[in-house]
A = this chain, B = another copy of it.
Amino acid sequence: MDQLDLWTDTATRSAIVDFVERVDRDGIPVAERVAVFDNDGTLWTEKPVQIQMQFVFALWAKMADADPSLASQQPFKAVVDRDFGWLSDAVDKHYAGDDTDMKTLMAGTVRASAGQEVEAYTASAKAFLDSGTHPSLGIPFARCVFAPMVELLRYLEAHDFTTYIASGGDRDFMRGAGEDLYAIPRERVIGSSLGLRYADGNVSYAPEMGFFDDGPEKPVRIWSRIGRKPLLVGGNSNGDVPMLEFCRDDGLQLLVHHDDGDREFAYDAGAEEALKAAADKGWTTVSMRDDWAAVFPDSET
């Protein structure tokens, strides 16, 4: 699969193919052919709530089962009551500048994993993704990836690019599944992390956030991991703007636009600045509706 069969014959597809042909023609060294993609909303669906959070909700439900006193406290209460409005409002309020509920949500996320050994956590995340189903799309999580983007990963690799994920989501959650979902190995998954502690031969999660890999932290983490500016960067939201700016001058920036309410979800919320930056700076906007022949794998849509 080294062709872009799932991309319709539009200016977007041409921009990608022309760029990759130029990279080959100019003989840009293989070591410099680094392609970095955001994950949520860029490589797989992020609505109505990020898939990682659905994993966290399952952990909270188990915790509230084990300790019923949690059922009256947020964020556990929202999961026990199936009050997904509280959870999505927390995220919306965060983007609107009010962090109160987001802090409660993050504290619950930290608490769900604190003390756990890192390899065990990665394995449990993989088991969740292998077995679960998306609540509103009704398809397995493993099929929530955007098939044209997976095809693009393979196309780039066929042209000697090395592909990375730089996610705002939890790094170790995605590592458990990245190999199966995207054929991207663990060492090429960059993302947020809880604090880590070493003791007695093992690394475990600390009861505190480590860092949040979003916005200006993304280029910092990309440099820390890779040691190069990327030659291609793909994103979809405001938090991806610094990473898109951190692309080489001779590189390509792709911004996935969620404009396909029939096949996925249509929304600009959280992407307003990114869409404006794409227009101002000449980044290539990918219309899910117009540029993709299919959205999810093994489907006619």
Contact = CB atoms under 8 A, between A and B. Distances in A.
Interface of A: 31, 118-119, 122, 162, 171-172, 175, 179, 185-187, 189, 193, 196-203, 216-220, 223-229, 242, 245-246
Contact of A246 (B171, B201, B226): B201
22 contacts: A31-B185, A119-B228, A162-B187, A175-B227, A186-B228, A187-B187, A187-B225, A187-B226, A187-B227, A189-B227, A193-B224, A197-B216, A198-B218, A198-B219, A198-B220, A200-B245, A201-B246, A202-B246, A203-B219, A203-B220, A203-B223, A203-B246
Majority-rule SS of A interface residues = helix
A179 to B, nearest CB: 8
Contacts of A229: 119
A300 to B, nearest CB: 34
A245 B198 CA distance: 10
Given A187-B225, A187-B226, A203-B220, 14 more contacts: A31-B186, A119-B228, A162-B187, A171-B224, A186-B226, A186-B227, A187-B227, A196-B224, A197-B220, A198-B220, A201-B245, A201-B246, A203-B219, A203-B246
A109 B226 CA distance: 23
Contacts of A193: 224
Nearest to A193: B224
Given A186-B228, A226-B186, A220 B246 contact: no
A215 to B, nearest CB: 8
